[in-house]
Chain A
Amino acid sequence: MQSPPSEADSLIELRDVTKIYGHGDAEVRALGGVSLRIARGEFVAIIGASGSGKSTCMNVIGCLDRPTGGSYQFRGVEVAELDLDQLALLRRHYIGFVFQGFNLLARTTALENVELPLVYKRVPAAERRERALEALRAVGLDGREHHAPSELSGGQQQRVAIARAIVSDPSIVLADEPTGNLDTARKAEIMRLLIDLNRSRGITVVMVTHEPDIARWARRIIEFRDGLVLRDETNEATEA
């Protein structure tokens, strides 16, 4: 499955993408013309100061939000031309998203939260359960399946969110600060999990982090500043 990144193989292609919030005086230019290409099977870390547009860019890549201007092609398809349902189907079949704020369903067990993407993928109940348990095991949450988010620590909630993102076998996992609330040991564990997904299953991984230590695990590092790509370089010395 793994092949070296090439132009023909590009999964994500942003060209001069802008995202503007608000109007007039209150206008915020969250993305000011971002161009990037990410190929299948890449492992990319996005870094940058707070407010530099990392989450905004992830939301656009994840087809959760549409750019104000520019062109975004996902798997060769121009996203701007798709309607809400078509975007939802892209997310359902190809994208696993880990939100910065987790966004788990309240008063719903970890297991049910992780099962949810599979419900919409019409996976039969028994298989759904099996795969959800497996995903929870992969993030080290076995034994916590029946706890609601309010009964889990921040780090545990984050791992439920990661399990939910990987459970549906997406072709790309987008993770916004997936290690933000974890201790060093857990951080390494999550990073190893993501790298394993990337290596063994060929899943493309794009993650946001503000920690240089974590970014060093990635093979490519993109740095944002003020809604623009400041730096985009291949990291020769990956830790993994």
Chain B
Amino acid sequence: MWIATIFMALRELRRNVMRSALTTLGIVIGVASVIAMVTLGRSATARVTQDIASLGQNMLMVFPGSDRRGPVSVAATPFRMDDVRAIEKEVGDLATVAPTSSKSELIVYGNANHTTAVYGATNTFFVVRSLKIQRGRDFSDAELAGGNPACVLGETVRKELFGMQEALDSSIRVGAVACRVVGILEAKGQNTFGQDQDDFIVMPLTTLQRRLAGNSDIGMMYVSVAEEKAIARTKARIQNLLRDRRRIQPGQTDDFNVQDTKEIAKTVSSVTGVLTALLGAVAAVSLLVGGIGIMNIMLVAVTERTREIGIRLSIGALASEVLMQFLVESIMLCTLGGVIGVSLGLLGSYGATRALSMPFEVDPVIVLVAFFFSAAIGIAFGYLPARKAARLNPIEALRHE
């Protein structure tokens, strides 16, 4: 009888192609949109977190100025090389310190020119920022100590200036300084916010200070902590040391600040988390609308279906047999719609995450919730009116209007 019931249900579905298609469509839209939106939201969050992690693991950033999130205030006293040495001594093996300073400059090679950020740094900068040198080398001790004009190019700058030509060992002009290209960085691509992460060049800190900036300021320091559990300790030590060195009295606010990439990540992902929730809410509404659509179709079909039930009952079907058929029908429709919806939702969000170069993060709970919610609506509204009709005597069911 099971097989007969399934065949009968299939025949009914085929007999009512339009109704079947519309019901399925309602479920497909509801399920697909919820899955797509939530997946996209989660993927964006994951991408942002990844970007921040790619700044470097377990990293502290030390800025002059007290404003935590705003731009560095002009009045803040910059750091000096002795601050860097003092911190290195203080933190010892716990961490690597990378002092940097930056400036925007016009870079020229032959007829090509490009304005970009120039970072003055030591070789620890590459380590701390997880920048890999694809070809060439980092700076020699002589270059670092002597302030020699050497530079390592980000991929974007290399492409802008050299295109297909060989860049290594060429001489480019950075502002007013002629400078030899000693290395090319591996490309990192865009981050979540669409920023090009390869649009900069690096030169020895001393070179930037002496030849471009004309001072010995250090704009900020990256401090890469060896172990995650040492972050808090290292942060506190640096803060105490700098307070001391910069003569900050107890109760006075610091004129520098130490940021933790973990903290930044937390802040940013709380923002994207809100966005995900918002997208989820929009999607939930579409799931609801899809559900109401299904409900409508099912209810409109009740009159015809009640007559059908009357006919089946009158030729000797048991109420339970008719109901089983309706249940199988609803389950088949909803499962079909659910499977198509899940596939479309996953496929769509997969495509979108690839296009936006985001990681593909699926929440199986959402997939299940979306699937079962719409399936429940479909089954309930396919089954409940049928149950009501099957409880009538056949003549009443046949007379139904």
User: Most chain-B CB neighbours within 10 Å: which of A85, A93, A120, A168?
Assistant: A120
Residues from chain B with Cβ under 8 Å of A84 in the complex? 319, 391, 393
Contact with A along B214-255 (1 / 0, CB 8 A): 000000000000000000000000000000000000000000
Check B314 against A64 for contact (C-beta < 8 Å): yes
A112 interface residue (CB < 8 Å to B): yes
| Bound Cα distance A64, B317 (Å) | 12
Which of A6-14, A100-108, A189-197, A224-232 binds B? A100-108
Question: Residue of A at shortest CB range from B398?
Answer: A103
A216 interface residue (CB < 8 Å to B): no
A221 to chain B, nearest CB (A): 25
A66 interface residue (CB < 8 Å to B): yes
Residues from chain B with Cβ under 8 Å of A164 in the complex? 315
Check A97 against B315 for contact (C-beta < 8 Å): yes
Check B310 against A119 for contact (C-beta < 8 Å): no
Q: Indicate which residue in A66, A103, A120 contacts B310 across the interface (CB closer than 8 Å).
A: A103
User: Most chain-A CB neighbours within 10 Å: which of B310, B315, B319?
Assistant: B315
| Bound Cα distance A92, B398 (Å) | 17
| Bound Cα distance A66, B394 (Å) | 10
Residues from chain B with Cβ under 8 Å of A122 in the complex? 1, 4
Interface bracket on B = 20 to 34
Contact with B along A69-92 (1 / 0, CB 8 A): 000000000000000110111011
A141 interface residue (CB < 8 Å to B): no
A48 interface residue (CB < 8 Å to B): no
Given A65-B395, A66-B393, A119-B4, are A108 and B319 also a contact pair (CB < 8 Å)? no
A121 interface residue (CB < 8 Å to B): yes
Check A105 against B317 for contact (C-beta < 8 Å): no
Residues from chain A with Cβ under 8 Å of B313 in the complex? 88
A117 interface residue (CB < 8 Å to B): yes
Check B315 against A65 for contact (C-beta < 8 Å): no
| Bound Cα distance A122, B317 (Å) | 11
Residues from chain B with Cβ under 8 Å of A65 in the complex? 393-395
Check B317 against A103 for contact (C-beta < 8 Å): no
A222 interface residue (CB < 8 Å to B): no
Check A120 against B321 for contact (C-beta < 8 Å): yes
B312 interface residue (CB < 8 Å to A): yes
Question: Residue of B at shortest CB range from A86?
Answer: B318
Check B15 against A116 for contact (C-beta < 8 Å): no
Total cross-chain contacts (CB, 8 A): 69
Main secondary structure of the interface of B (DSSP, over half): helix
Q: Indicate which residue in B8, B316, B321 contacts A117 across the interface (CB closer than 8 Å).
A: B316
B311 interface residue (CB < 8 Å to A): yes
From 1 to 39 in chain B, residues with beta carbon under 8 angstroms from any chain A beta carbon are 1, 4, 8, 11, 15-16
B320 interface residue (CB < 8 Å to A): yes
B260 interface residue (CB < 8 Å to A): no
| Bound Cα distance A122, B2 (Å) | 11
A59 interface residue (CB < 8 Å to B): yes
Residues from chain A with Cβ under 8 Å of B395 in the complex? 59, 64-65
Residues from chain A with Cβ under 8 Å of B321 in the complex? 120
B308 interface residue (CB < 8 Å to A): yes
| Bound Cα distance A87, B315 (Å) | 11
Residues from chain B with Cβ under 8 Å of A89 in the complex? 316, 318
Given A64-B314, A64-B394, A106-B304, are A85 and B320 also a contact pair (CB < 8 Å)? yes
A21 to chain B, nearest CB (A): 11
Contact with A along B290-320 (1 / 0, CB 8 A): 0000000000000010011011111111111
Residues from chain B with Cβ under 8 Å of A85 in the complex? 318-320
| Bound Cα distance A83, B206 (Å) | 99
Check A116 against B312 for contact (C-beta < 8 Å): yes
Check A112 against B11 for contact (C-beta < 8 Å): yes
A55 to chain B, nearest CB (A): 9
| Bound Cα distance A116, B325 (Å) | 13
A5 to chain B, nearest CB (A): 26
| Bound Cα distance A85, B4 (Å) | 19
Question: Residue of A at shortest CB range from B394?
Answer: A64
B1 to chain A, nearest CB (A): 7
| Bound Cα distance A204, B158 (Å) | 99
A24 to chain B, nearest CB (A): 19
Residues from chain B with Cβ under 8 Å of A119 in the complex? 4, 8
Residues from chain B with Cβ under 8 Å of A121 in the complex? 316
Given A107-B16, A119-B4, are A93 and B316 also a contact pair (CB < 8 Å)? yes
In the complex, 25 of the A-B residue pairs with CB atoms within 8 angstroms, ordered by the A residue number, are: A59-B395, A62-B314, A64-B394, A65-B395, A66-B393, A84-B391, A85-B320, A87-B393, A88-B313, A88-B316, A88-B318, A88-B319, A92-B315, A95-B316, A99-B314, A104-B311, A106-B15, A106-B304, A108-B11, A112-B11, A117-B315, A119-B4, A120-B318, A121-B316, A164-B315
- CB-CB nearest 7 A-B residue pairs: A92-B316, A91-B316, A65-B395, A117-B315, A107-B15, A64-B394, A120-B317
Interface set of B (CB-CB < 8 Å, partner A): 1, 4, 8, 11, 15-16, 304, 307-308, 310-321, 391, 393-395, 398
Interface set of A (CB-CB < 8 Å, partner B): 59, 62, 64-66, 84-85, 87-89, 91-93, 95, 97, 99, 103-108, 112, 116-117, 119-122, 164, 168
